[in-house]
């Protein structure tokens, strides 16, 4: 279900937009809230608050100088931000390639065969 800006939040957002003392961040949050106001022929059902407008709305909510109307409009805008995508899990580390089977090693003789003696020279 998509959230929509209610009547009170929309009214407060309109007041913020028409107030010359409102800051750019406050007006951005109010505009985001009004964009999602469902009217009789509105396409607001699929609208969500952009990340930039959400950052500005967050600043409005944390500003102690913001009025109740400004905070209402900012809260409405923030309520309509799309959910954050969960980061994809990293694949598990690759397993090392299996080692080839060990080659059989020929047994070394424990004793060396006696060295061949040179044959005596032939006599003529």
94 CB-side CA count, 13 A: 3
Instruction: Give a yes or no: residue 58 inside a domain.
Output: yes
Instruction: Give a yes or no: residue 59 inside a domain.
Output: yes
Residues in the chain with pLDDT values less than 70: 1-3, 38-46, 105-116, 118, 123-124
Instruction: For residue 12, give Cα distances in angstroms to 1, 34, 123.
Output: 24, 10, 129
Residues spanned by the domain of 24: 7-36+50-79
Q: pTM of the full predicted structure? A: 0.47
Cβ atoms < 10 Å from Cβ of 43: 9
Instruction: Give a yes or no: residue 91 inside a domain.
Output: no
Which stretch of DSSP H or E encloses residue 106? none
Instruction: Give a yes or no: residue 122 inside a domain.
Output: no
Task: Name every residue whose Cβ is closer than 8 Å to that of residue 89 and which is 6 or more positions away in sequence.
Answer: none
Total domains, the chain = 1
Instruction: Give a yes or no: residue 117 inside a domain.
Output: no
Instruction: Give a yes or no: residue 56 inside a domain.
Output: yes
Token look-up 């799309």 returns 82
Contact in structure between 37 and 14 (CB atoms under 8 Å): no
Cβ atoms < 10 Å from Cβ of 48: 17
In this predicted model, what pLDDT tens digit does every residue of 27-44 receive, in sequence order? 888 888 777 776 655 555
Give the model's pLDDT for residue 84. Answer: 73
Instruction: Give a yes or no: residue 112 inside a domain.
Output: no
Long-range Cβ pairs for the range 54-57 (8 Å, 24+): 54/78, 54/81, 56/24, 56/25, 56/26, 56/28, 56/29, 57/25, 57/28, 57/29, 57/32
Instruction: Give a yes or no: residue 70 inside a domain.
Output: yes
């Amino acid at each position: 279900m998509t959230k929509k800006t209610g009547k009170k939040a929309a009214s407060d957002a309109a007041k913020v937009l028409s107030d010359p003392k409102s800051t750019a961040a406050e007006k951005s949050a109010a505009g985001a809230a009004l964009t999602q106001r469902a009217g009789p022929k509105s396409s607001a059902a699929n609208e969500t608050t952009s990340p930039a407008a959400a950052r500005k709305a967050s600043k409005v909510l944390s500003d102690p100088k913001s009025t109740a109307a400004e905070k209402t409009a900012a809260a409405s805008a923030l309520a309509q931000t799309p959910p954050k995508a969960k980061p994809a899990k990293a694949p598990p580390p690759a397993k090392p390639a299996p080692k080839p089977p060990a080659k059989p090693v020929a047994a070394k003789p424990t004793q060396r065969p006696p060295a061949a003696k040179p044959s005596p020279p032939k006599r003529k």
